[in-house]
Amino acid sequence: MRHVIAIDQGTTGSTVLVLDEKLDIRGRGYREFRQIYPQPGWVEHDPEDIWASVMDALGQAMKGIEPSSIAAIGITNQRETAVIWERATGKAAHNAIVWQDRRTADTCAELKASGKEEQVKQLTGLTIDPYFSGTKVSWMLHNVPGMATAARDGSLAFGTVDSYLLWRLTGGRVHATDVTNASRTLLFDIEELEWSDELCEMLGVPRALLPDVVPSSGTCGMTKGVPGLPDGVPIAGLAGDQQSALFGQACFAPGDAKCTYGTGAFILMNTGDSPVQSRSGLLTTVAWKLSTGELRYALEGSAFIAGAAVQWLRDGLGLITKASEIEELARSVPDSGGVIVVPAFAGLGAPHWRPEARASITGITRGTTKAHLARAVLEGIALQNVDILRAMERDAGRPLTTLKVDGGAAANDLLMQFQSDVLGVEIARPELVESTALGAAFLAGLGTGVWKDQKAIESTWREQRRFKPTQDRECVNEHLERWDAAVEKA
């Protein structure tokens, strides 16, 4: 029996799954790591903490697994987080700057004011925003003493987290990223599928700093010196977490869409083999490229806060002691009592792109209870997605019929039912909601022949439950009007 390892390196922790050829999970490990907040709006990770969490989770997952049975490794990762390290030692030159970090907001505003936004959108499919890693790299080059010189002379390496893990897993032999992660940097031409000299010059990023760009599926390196694994295991899958989830949800046909409910909510729709430029504030991104040459693009909309809003109720307000309690609390009232929560704790993402926006609560009365607030938080998570998916339908020129869901909050039945109601479409939840890790495993297994083709993968996707709209549309429309008014004030 051959096994595939999926490394899912996320914002707050690292998960490692070991799957067999039948897609049964044979081993699982998870380890959180610390979040670093140097000042308001700044979020960092120590790359050594990330590496240690992956190794710890790998050790847990490999218990009882014969190391020689590992046929391939796939990596999926928090995408826009930027890491720069020394090529000679592998030591980080600065803490990783996390995708949530907003320190480059002024830089982004200056680039927009100088008229760069349309050029950037045409080349990258992205908007100019602190979310993406390019301005984070530029910030480090300008603010860390000696870094700019070292970057120009080739002694430093930049990468998103996949690239950093690949470097470590191969003993420093491979400096590469895949097309999906490259497409999130503001430095990559998504039609030519190569780094853009224009964009590198615009952000002051030397080409010597950048990794090679490889397909999402296919061997790009071999393990070397990894505790618990033999040398020579192919690393054959690389993809940013949301593209990996799209693949893991078997969204192989144009029009197929998924939403991952994690720290944020991330919606992607497969648009086929050519990029669709958004007219509605969405992102155009590379969905995957296989070693066979198959190339797919996607439209994407991201809400920066989803599960993090539930964590705020738990940690910030103390209304619940664990995240899983929110559904029972929210169900104790028939509705939110007119309360609307706009969870813009880190600004508003697509399709609004208002980094200055802040979270708000409206509609509070003397009769408002913590149950109403809990329900309004869940509703706010779902209502953000309505804005994104309506924009996606306009850009793609096709109506959404079914939305596949995954991630931790997808297990919340109340949230999923409300999501179906306000969208007016069916919600399909798979048996295995860890689609992000599953996508990494699929990509690695395809790249090494563990699975023959996508049909073999598609046949393994199994639905656990389907949610259908039940609410009266007039009531839904009234709710949406209150939401739109609250967003305007946020």
Predicted pLDDT of residue 304? 84
| pLDDT tier at 333, thresholds 50, 70, 90 | very high
Q: Is residue 364 part of a domain?
A: no
Predicted pLDDT of residue 23? 83
Phi and psi at residue 173, in whole multiples of 5°? -90, -25
Q: Is residue 407 part of a domain?
A: no
pLDDT digit string, tens, across residues 412-423:
999 999 999 999
pLDDT at 22 over 90: no
| pLDDT tier at 349, thresholds 50, 70, 90 | confident
CATH number at residue 212: 3.30.420.40
234: three-class secondary structure by DSSP: strand
Q: Which residues contact 118 (CB under 8 A, 6 or more apart)?
A: none
Q: Is residue 155 part of a domain?
A: yes
| pLDDT tier at 55, thresholds 50, 70, 90 | very high
| pLDDT tier at 307, thresholds 50, 70, 90 | confident
What's the distance, CA 9 to chain centroid?
10
Lowest mean pLDDT among 40-44, 52-56, 164-168, 451-455: 451-455
Q: Is residue 373 part of a domain?
A: no
Q: Is residue 28 part of a domain?
A: yes
Sign of the alpha-carbon torsion through 189, 194, 200, 201 = negative
Most confident stretch, 53-67, 273-287, 302-316? 53-67
pTM of the model: 0.89
Phi and psi at residue 82, in whole multiples of 5°? -105, 130
Question: How far apart are the C-alpha atoms of 89 and 66, rounded to whole Å?
Answer: 31
Q: Is residue 198 part of a domain?
A: yes
Q: How far is CA 430 from CA 301, 405, 434, in A?
A: 21, 7, 9
Using CA atoms of 349, 352, 358, 363 in order, give the dihedral in degrees to the nearest 10. -120
Domain that holds residue 199: 3-242
Span 253-282, mean pLDDT?
Answer: 90
Domain count for the chain: 1
pLDDT at 172 over 90: yes
Phi and psi at residue 270, in whole multiples of 5°? -65, 125
Span 39-64, mean pLDDT?
Answer: 95
Query: What are 6's two structure tokens?
Result: 């999926």
Q: Is residue 302 part of a domain?
A: no
Q: Is residue 431 part of a domain?
A: no
Predicted pLDDT of residue 45? 97
